[in-house]
């Protein structure tokens, strides 16, 4: 496989994941609209036609696997290309984010694995699979994502690890979002400046959007579900009043 083909695959699979994190962040922000909003959104995703649902999952998983696989191949070649390092190792203009893509990427890989077993497979805290984590919504029994997220982030260590990992995501994106265009040849001097700025902005938006939820839980802006008394419909009304 040629060096450039590896770069293209890195950029294209990265592009898929860059788009995914934005949609994921928007979904997470539903937490601020009360239990029904996020539970309904989660239910909508879970009940998408099987083909669409698994299509998304397989595309994302394949992107992740190819991205990591290419990273391993590229890093191996890069290390082999400089067997003896400089005694003075300096950088003239390479950004910190660009120099730490391997570190930030490795943290993100561990985070993604943990995150999937935590909230998707729900095997890290098996109590998330119990009946207590189901709720009624418009006469249907749906999974109570709201309760699970609040329970998850109420553990301070989970929130801290989460925020640190999102900082790595921010750094990774700050280089990646501009770099992927360069790898595909879709950049020039004018667009480099614009895309570099956009990448940093994108990293920060994603970072702040994601960490808003654990911070909201820890500061009780996002209230535990028990504070919503009565039927879920009433809970929504209370929450709407609160936000006014």
Interface residue list for another protein (CB under 8 A): 2-8, 74, 77-78, 80-95, 98-99, 101, 175, 178-179, 182-189, 192
Q: Which residues are within 8 A (CB) of 74 and not within 5 positions of it... i.e. 6 or more apart?
A: 3, 6, 7, 10
Q: Is 198 exposed, middle or buried (0-12, 13-18, 19+ CB in 10 A)?
A: middle
**The tokens of 27 are what?**
């979904």
What is the torsion angle, in degrees rounded to the nearest 10, for the CA atoms of residue 56, residue 134, residue 117 and residue 222? 90
Between 8 and 114, name the residue whose CB sits nearer to another protein: 8
**The tokens of 227 are what?**
């504070």
DSSP state of 119: I
Between 166 and 195, name the residue whose CB sits nearer to another protein: 195
| Helix, strand, coil shares, percent, the chain, to 5 | 75, 5, 20
Minimum CB separation of residue 89 from another protein in Å reads 6
Minimum CB separation of residue 189 from another protein in Å reads 6
Between 170 and 217, name the residue whose CB sits nearer to another protein: 170
Between 136 and 193, name the residue whose CB sits nearer to another protein: 193
Between 84 and 131, name the residue whose CB sits nearer to another protein: 84
Q: Which of helix, strand or coil describes residue 140?
A: strand
How many Å is the Cα radius of gyration of the chain?
A: 21
Minimum CB separation of residue 18 from another protein in Å reads 15
Q: Which residues are within 8 A (CB) of 213 and not within 5 positions of it... i.e. 6 or more apart?
A: 28, 29, 31, 149, 153, 222
Are 11 and 173 within 8 A, CB to CB? no
Minimum CB separation of residue 64 from another protein in Å reads 19
Between 107 and 181, name the residue whose CB sits nearer to another protein: 181
**The tokens of 59 are what?**
């595309």
Minimum CB separation of residue 7 from another protein in Å reads 7
Minimum CB separation of residue 84 from another protein in Å reads 6
């Amino acid at each position: 496989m040629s060096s450039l083909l590896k770069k293209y695959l890195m950029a294209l699979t990265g592009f898929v994941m860059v788009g995914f994190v934005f949609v994921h962040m928007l979904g997470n922000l539903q937490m601020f609209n009360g239990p029904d909003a996020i539970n309904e959104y989660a239910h909508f995703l879970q009940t998408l036609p099987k083909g669409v649902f698994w299509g998304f999952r397989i595309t994302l998983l394949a992107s992740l696997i190819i991205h990591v696989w290419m990273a391993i191949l590229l890093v191996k070649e890069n290390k082999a290309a400089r067997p003896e390092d400089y005694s003075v190792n300096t950088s003239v203009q390479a950004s910190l984010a660009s120099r730490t893509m391997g570190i930030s990427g490795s943290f993100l890989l561990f985070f993604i694995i943990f995150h999937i077993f935590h909230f998707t497979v729900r095997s890290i805290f098996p109590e998330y699979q119990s009946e207590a984590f189901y709720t009624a919504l418009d006469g249907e029994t749906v999974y109570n994502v709201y309760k699970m997220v609040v329970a998850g982030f109420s553990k301070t260590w989970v929130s801290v690890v989460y925020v640190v990992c999102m900082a790595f995501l921010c750094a990774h994106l700050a280089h990646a979002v501009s770099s992927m265009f360069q790898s595909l040849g879709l950049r020039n001097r004018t667009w480099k400046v614009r895309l570099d700025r956009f990448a940093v902005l994108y990293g920060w938006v994603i970072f702040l959007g994601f960490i808003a939820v654990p911070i909201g839980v820890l500061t009780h802006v996002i209230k535990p579900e028990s504070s919503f008394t009565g039927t879920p419909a009433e809970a929504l009304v209370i929450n709407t009043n609160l936000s006014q």
